[in-house]
Amino acid sequence: MNSKSALFRTQGKQKILNSSLNSDLDKIILYGFYWAMLRFKLIFLFLTIISFKFIDFSLCAQTLSIESGVFVGKLIPHTEKFKYSPQAPAYNVEMIIRKKTFGNKAWSREAGLPSYGITMSYCNLGKPREILSDAIAVFPYLEFDVLHFKKLRFMMRNGFGVGYVYKPFHRLSNPYQTAIGSHWNLYVNLMLSAQYQLKWNQMIKLNAMISHFSNGSTKAPNLGINFIHSGISYQYLLNSNSLSQTNEMVEDRKRKPWSVNVYAGYALRESKNIGGPKFSIYSISTSLQYHYSRTRAVQAGIDAELHMQSWYWVKQTEDPKYFDKPWLPATRINLFTGHQWNWGVFSFDVRFGYLVSPSSILYNFKFFNRFVFLWEPFYNNKMKVQPNIGIYLKNHFGSADHLALCLGLRWREIK
């Protein structure tokens, strides 16, 4: 019986694949899928490159530590669209390579001497196993002290990387997995820890963690996978260090507090119909930022998005109101405000915005938030204009709208 059903599924898949090439629309779907996979591979390569650039290997022998942790938690069904009931427990195991900053860079002193590194995570997503299975993630992170006593520290860790889900939605083999539709996803992680120092080179931690898998709506379905975990971890410091042992103190040139940031973005978003066509989203954003410290800034700005799905809708429905100007309902103008954290050549934005254009089609949300991660690969403290590259994720109350690659410039005067 099992062999017959397997043969039936294989034949069904082949028929669907053969028939899917018979129309131009299905060819567009197939090409769009290839483009989406290529984009996630580029994002994975991008994060891998900056992760290795993130670590100063000349100091690793003096400041490197290793950490491992075990976590137990549960998948949270945050919407009624889940077609299954997740059951605890879900497990998570982490292996971490970390480096402690010691103030040789101005940004690290301003940020309170944070730690950074790379985490490799294995996730057992819980039950039912035939739907959820497992996932893995690799992500760089920053960890900051919140409170610090003699042997006790309270810390917060922020991580952003790439995740791989073993069993995403498939209309034949996994039709009830409505939370995630692709193998490759972005992975976001936030952890609060209480660390106690056992010896000068050994620490133990109690942790509470939230993690999230999402493909940014590049492939439906994309409700997102959200977990809450708690666990324990052990850290071993390979060697001690002090400020005198690090590189020379590096002072950034003083800059004026105001800056202007402009970037353009591109996203590929699948229609809400599973297996439907993918449409491009073009965006441009500009913001005015006030840097109230070396590592923090507040900002306000405006951005515009051109959604080709709305353009296509107008042309296909022959809407008389917009048929001669389909760009009008396809354009979304947003006002936003937010906060930015800067760590040397990296920055992270949290933005909250409101849609002000009145004529958008296929769009029911006014409020949104956007997470923006930027890297300045050619940073030079003598330059007024710094080019940057990065990614951003736009959300509506926890539901991803789209994930985009972006390229931009930051202009800031030197005193």
Closest listed residue to residue 227, CA positions, set 77, 370, 93, 371: 77
Asked if the structure places residue 358 within a domain, the reply is yes
Given a cut of 70, whether residue 247 has pLDDT beyond it is no
Taking every pair of Cα atoms in the chain, the longest distance, rounded to a whole number of angstroms, is 77
In the prediction, which pLDDT does 150 show?
87
The answer on 264 and 234 residing in a single domain is: no
Average pLDDT over residues 35-62: 50
The answer on 352 and 241 residing in a single domain is: no
In the prediction, which pLDDT does 56 show?
46
Q: Give CA–CA dist 279/399, Å, rounded.
A: 18
Q: Give CA–CA dist 163/225, Å, rounded.
A: 11
Residues in contact with 107: Cβ distance below 8 Å, sequence separation at least 6, in sequence order = 252, 294, 295, 342, 343, 344
The answer on 147 and 125 residing in a single domain is: yes
Q: Give CA–CA dist 90/135, Å, rounded.
A: 11
Predicted confidence (pLDDT) per residue in 256-289, tens digit: 899 999 999 999 888 767 767 889 999 999 999 9
Given a cut of 70, whether residue 153 has pLDDT beyond it is yes
> What band does 52 get if pLDDT is binned at 50, 70 and 90?
very low
Asked if the structure places residue 395 within a domain, the reply is yes
CATH number at residue 410: 2.40.160.20
In the prediction, which pLDDT does 259 show?
95
Given a cut of 70, whether residue 39 has pLDDT beyond it is no
Q: Give CA–CA dist 361/162, Å, rounded.
A: 32
Q: Give CA–CA dist 403/167, Å, rounded.
A: 21
In the prediction, which pLDDT does 37 show?
52
The answer on 262 and 223 residing in a single domain is: no
Would you state the torsion angle of the CA atoms of residues 382, 285, 53, 237, taken in this order, to the nearest 10 degrees?
110
Report which of residues 413 and 44 the model is more confident about: 413
DSSP-assigned letter for residue 244: G
In the listed set 245, 270, 291, which residue is the last one of a domain according to the structure?
A: 245
Asked if the structure places residue 393 within a domain, the reply is yes
Half-sphere exposure of 282 (CA within 13 A, CB side): 6
Average pLDDT over residues 102-109: 74
Q: How does DSSP assign 281-343, residue by residue? A: EEEEEEEEEEESSSSEEEEEEEEEEEEHHHHHHHHHHT-TTTTT-THHHHEEEEEEEEEEEEE
State the chain's mean pLDDT as an integer.
Answer: 82
Residues in contact with 305: Cβ distance below 8 Å, sequence separation at least 6, in sequence order = 281, 282, 283, 331, 332, 334
> What band does 47 get if pLDDT is binned at 50, 70 and 90?
low
Q: Give CA–CA dist 112/21, Å, rounded.
A: 57
The answer on 364 and 331 residing in a single domain is: yes
Closest listed residue to residue 303, CA positions, set 341, 259, 354, 361: 354
The mean-pLDDT minimum among 104-113, 133-142, 214-223 falls in 104-113
In the prediction, which pLDDT does 243 show?
41
Question: What secondary structure, in 3-state letters, does 361-378 show?
Answer: CCCCCCEEEEEEEEECCC
Given a cut of 90, whether residue 54 has pLDDT beyond it is no
Provide the 10 A C-beta neighbour count for residue 133. Answer: 17
Average pLDDT over residues 169-192: 92
Q: Note whether 406 and 391 are within 8 A (CB).
A: yes
Average pLDDT over residues 373-397: 88
Burial 333-369 (b: 16+ CB within 10 A, else e): ebebebebbbbbbbbbbebebebeeeebbebeeeebb
The answer on 270 and 224 residing in a single domain is: no
Asked if the structure places residue 8 within a domain, the reply is no
Checking DSSP bridges between strand 385-396 and strand 399-414, what pairing results, if any? antiparallel
Of all residues in the chain, what percent carry a pLDDT higher than 90?
Answer: 45
The answer on 357 and 409 residing in a single domain is: yes
Predicted confidence (pLDDT) per residue in 66-91, tens digit: 999 999 999 988 777 888 888 878 99
Asked if the structure places residue 396 within a domain, the reply is yes
Residues in contact with 43: Cβ distance below 8 Å, sequence separation at least 6, in sequence order = 162, 186, 391, 405
Q: How far is CA 256 from CA 225, 268, 411, in A?
A: 42, 37, 11
Asked if the structure places residue 339 within a domain, the reply is yes
In the prediction, which pLDDT does 286 show?
97
216: Cα separation from own chain's centroid = 9
pTM for this one? Answer: 0.73
The answer on 304 and 231 residing in a single domain is: no
State which residues form the domain around 191.
19-245
> What band does 58 get if pLDDT is binned at 50, 70 and 90?
very low
In the listed set 213, 245, 277, which residue is the last one of a domain according to the structure?
A: 245
In the prediction, which pLDDT does 41 show?
52
> What band does 4 get if pLDDT is binned at 50, 70 and 90?
very low
In the listed set 197, 214, 245, which residue is the last one of a domain according to the structure?
A: 245
How many structural domains comprise the chain?
2
Report which of residues 38 and 290 the model is more confident about: 290
